[in-house]
Chains A and B, each alone.
Chain A
Amino acid sequence: MTIDAFLLSRIQFAFTISFHIVFPAFTIGLSAYIATLLGLWLKTGDQKFHLLARFWTKIFAVSFAMGVVSGIVLSYQFGTNWSRFSLVVGNVIGPLIGYEVLTAFFLEASFLGVMLFGWKRVPPWLHFLSAIIVAGGTALSGFWILSANSWMQYPAGHEMRDGIAYPLDWMQIVFNPTFPLRYMHMMTAAYLTTAFVVLATGARHLIAGHRTESAKTMVRMAILMIAITAPVQALIGDFHGKQTAKYQPAKLAAIEAHWDSSKPAPLVLFAWPDDQAGLNRFEISIPGLASFLTHGSMDALFPSLNDFALEDRPPVKIPFFAFRAMVGIGVLMIGFGWLGAFLWWKGRVFEERRWLWLAQYSWPAGFIAILSGWFVTEVGRQPWLATGVIRSKDAVSPITTLEVAISLALFVCVYCVVFTAGILLINRLIDKGPDEIGDKDAPEQPSRRTLKAAQGQASDLFGDGRPGDDRIQPQS
């Protein structure tokens, strides 16, 4: 492996996108959670929902800013580092990104202003609507970017002329075969990830002795979300895997570390796949189970890595191990969610300290699972950048190794400083927790006035300063 602009550009893209995906994944889920809290507050008039919404909005603001700035980097890197890719697929993928900006980015960015600073400027129903629009915008953004990514996984609706992709059928391009399931898988992952952060936050406050109604509400809402979405996610993942067998057999073979297509594939629990020798070392496996999971029969045969020329198959270790990490975490999530639901049903969930202790450290679970999943799907697509259209090695810009070495070093330094600071600041906000009912800083009770305001009258009852600003002013 030579160190050149190509290798360094790959590392740079992997590094910057891995940092980036953490934030949108969290903000997709969190914006929906905040909109839910505001809706519950307007419906019930229960103060705790309002305080929770305000608390999470502060955290949302910090996370969203990090998502925005790390996202702009990616949109420009297509050109700076992968200009030949931009040229070859520009006619097809460019419009998808264009629609992402037009339908989602402006919507999120504009109504974010209202959501963060409009507590008092607009009536509650409009503030609630802004939160819904922001949540919808993040989901729409996911729609387009997942569509573009899925097209790269399995291109459709285009033709190649002189090495350049030209669009033929936009419906086929946007709703390409692997897109719907991949989109559902990612969105569910985002909601699940956020649920674990909310759970961990509630648990942390309960353990610290802040046995407040808002902490309990967070734990209850998170358990409900996890107990339902974690198994749903496993189901979507299963469909997604079967679809991979159909459209990306080389990726599936790498995931399963399947080397011999003349026999049914075992489910490899552990192994050290050896790309060079074309076999697994130290393998522990269950015979026929991978065949059963992908094709419904213990005897089913499907292509193995050895059926693909060496230059046409992905590296094996990363998809293999990352997939096991993702699935392992997913299984633990289901178990943990159901255990929580059981304890809740027994009325012991706030007393069971061992469960709460685990819960407070469970927040990274979703992030690790999401990163693992993306490593599976992106490395599994190699050696292609867009399958069958352009190989990664042919896509790099005519730039020098030194340029990329410098930029990569700068990205590593800046990201480590900035995002570490951001995560520490979020941690600080979480530690502080939501305001409590009766706090001097807390807004006035909503009750009847809320209902009046919800009918679109008063715009003046939210009572205080900007989120993130602790010097909350009484309303003048």
Chain B
Amino acid sequence: MEWYLPVIWAGLIGTAVMLYVVLDGFDLGIAILFPATKDEAERDQMMNSVAPFWDGNETWLVLGGGGLWVAFPKAYAIIMPAFYIPVILMLLALIFRGVAFEFRWVAKPKHRIWDLAFWLGSTIAAFAQGLILGGLIQGITVANGQFAGKPLDWLTPFSVMCGAGVVVGYALLGATWLVYKTEGAVAERARAQAKLLLLGLMAFAILVSLWTPYAHPRIAERWFTPANFALLWPFPLLTAYCGWMVWKRLHGQHEFAPFAFTIAIFVLCFLGLAISNYPYLVPPGLTIWDVAAAPASHIFVLIGVSFLLPMILFYTAFVYWTFRGKVKLDSGYH
């Protein structure tokens, strides 16, 4: 029991973060693509394609952060101060983009400033998330169970590259979402953008895949030990296949497939990172067992999760189903 509770929780938090990345990824992504058009009606259409969902999507971020506290309080207490600046940056950016959803409609016709807030807030939030991801992979200096590094330890070429990679990746999710969810000029432009963004994302994926084993022997060992490699070789291959499928489907008339395969790329990359770092939650030194909460706390919340999480997934699906179908140009929300 004591051994596998942290494993279950690591899986749960991993799932929450994964869902966050995919779900908020596409709505941050459509905002990152905002400057591509100056046309107000087209921007309305883009925003409307995510308006009923964004709040639910962002809640996965709260679950990711809150879940980390619930399940791994020691990790939470190390990671948050270690990434103080990027976390605060992300929160401030999310304020701007979150309120922009509502303010923009009420402020019309003087809403340009909220267009800017929407775009800049979303882009900075995505970039900050990449910085945190990169910083975490690099590892955190810990002494006596506390963060013992410097305020800017996270700031390296690697983390900046991860930041840029996340921005491009979210933009791709956003573009393929628009292909799926909109029509007309917005959808066509998104289809063209998605091709470029796909090339960008694949380049970042290759870069991370080479950089991490090169910089961290433990990651090289994880992947390239013959016994492990025999099991793990399908991951890069599958990722490449999904990338190829996005490319191919974008060239046809397919509307949902590019989005679906982009999600698959994200899931595979995420699993790849998890494989690279397991069982460390605070690399390089602390495993999920080192930082776990009391078993009684794990069990208490797990009981709730076992029926609440299926409920959440069910009504989330209901909301997506309610707002199914294309969002048309200049039709408001219906």
Contacts and interface: CB of A to CB of B under 8 A. Distances in A.
Interface of A: 58, 61-62, 64-66, 68-70, 72-73, 75-76, 78-81, 83-84, 86-87, 90-92, 94-95, 97-103, 105-114, 116-118, 120-122, 166-167, 170, 397-400, 402-403, 406-407, 410-411, 414, 418, 421-422, 425, 428-429, 465-466, 468-473
Contacts of B148: 398
A407 B128 CA distance: 15
A97 B70 contact: yes
B62 A75 contact: yes
B96 A72 contact: no
Interface stretch (B71-79, B173-181, B203-211, B219-227): B71-79
A388 to B, nearest CB: 19
Contact of B308 (A62, A102, A113): A102
B296 interface: yes
B147 A58 contact: no
Given A79-B76, A468-B102, A473-B331, A72 B293 contact: no
B92 A87 contact: no
B146 A398 contact: yes
A87 B94 CA distance: 26
A170 B68 CA distance: 20
Interface in B56-113: 56, 58-59, 61-63, 65-71, 73-74, 76-81, 84-85, 87-88, 91-92, 94-96, 98-99, 101-103, 105-108
Nearest to B51: A117
Nearest to B60: A106
B37 to A, nearest CB: 19
A84 B80 CA distance: 11
Contact of B69 (A64, A97, A465, A471): A97
Chain A CB within 10 A, most for which of B56, B85, B88, B316: B88
Contacts of B59: 101, 105-106, 109
Given A72-B62, A170-B300, A398-B146, A121 B308 contact: no
A16 B20 CA distance: 24
B81 A83 contact: yes
Interface string B300-334: 11001100110010011011001100000001111
A470 B94 contact: no
11 contacts: A58-B106, A69-B99, A80-B81, A83-B76, A86-B73, A87-B77, A98-B301, A103-B308, A106-B316, A111-B315, A400-B151
A231 B147 CA distance: 50
B2 interface: no
Contacts of A112: 55-56
B8 to A, nearest CB: 14
Given A79-B79, A102-B312, A403-B85, A113 B106 contact: no
